[in-house]
Amino acid sequence: MVTTSKKSERVPSANLNRRVERSRHAILTTAFELLSEGGVASFSVDEVARRSGVAKTTIYRHWPTREALVIDACSRMIAEQETPDTGSLEGDVTAILVEIAHLLPTANWSFVLPSIVDTAERNPEFAEIHSRIQRGHAAPLREVLQRAVGRGELSAHADVSTIVAALLGPLFYRRWFSREPIDDQFVKAIIKRVLASL
């Protein structure tokens, strides 16, 4: 009898899980859409509920606060970038930076990121998630630099964190601050300068 009871509970529970998964997915997709449109400031759980068709009570069951939902949606925002392996540091760095340069003017996360940066100024929880997103951004670059150290192409004393800032900083500067175009010529000039100085 115990077995039967367990079995009869399992079927609805599996359905329930699928349903929960579906509504979680719908909520996150809508949350991401809203963030892309208006940033963190104008983001509301009411609007997520309205657009996704999922009840607010259900949303709050999964994410206890508006902040928790924003943070979860943000952290799924940036697609994992594959780490290239061209055999040389210059080839690897070029592959990564050219891809970022192409994404910066077009990708959804590129429009949402300033809103996260802004929120992070006043909210330590956001600052933490933002650091995590940024570490994800920089991870492939760190990996190819470490690999170059392994090959002896780069000194083991090289300051990887400074090199990452020297490579990504100028691209980010043009995207969000000077608002100048990030063309291949610019990207290659930056790479050439940084690698020449190693």
Binding site for a second copy (CB under 8 A): 38-39, 41-42, 111, 114-115, 117-118, 120-122, 127, 130-131, 134-135, 137-138, 159, 161-162, 164-166, 168-174, 176-180, 186, 189-190, 192-194, 196-197
> Is the CB of 63 or the CB of 126 nearer to a second copy?
126
Structure tokens at 96: 């990564």
How many CA within 13 A on the CB side of residue 176? 15
Please, what is the minimum distance in Å from the beta carbon of residue 131 to a second copy?
6
Give the separation between CA 41 and CA 70, rounded to whole angstroms: 10
Mark out the alpha helices in 39-55 (DSSP H runs): 45-52
Amino acid at 143: E
Q: How far is the CB of 31 from a second copy (least distance, A)?
A: 17
Nearest distance in Å: CB 195, a second copy? 9
**Cβ at position 116, least distance to a second copy in Å:** 9
Q: Which residue has the tokens 């930056």?
A: 190
Closer CB to a second copy, residue 70 or residue 164?
A: 164
Write down how long the chain is: 198
Residue number with CB closer to a second copy (3 or 185): 185
> From the CB of 113, what's the least distance to a second copy, in Å?
8
How far, in whole angstroms, is CA 157 from its chain's centroid?
A: 29
Cβ proximity to a second copy: between 69 and 191 the closer is 191
119/112 Cα distance (integer angstroms) = 11
Query: Using CA atoms, how far apart are residues 41 and 29, in angstroms rounded to an integer?
Result: 18
**Cβ of residue 162: shortest distance to a second copy, in angstroms?**
5
- In the bound state with a second copy, the residue whose beta carbon lies nearer, of 23 and 39, is 39
C-beta of 8 vs 44, nearer to a second copy: 44
**Burial profile 93-121: b = 16 or more Cβ within 10 angstroms, e = fewer:** bbbbbbebbebbeebbbbebbebbbebbe
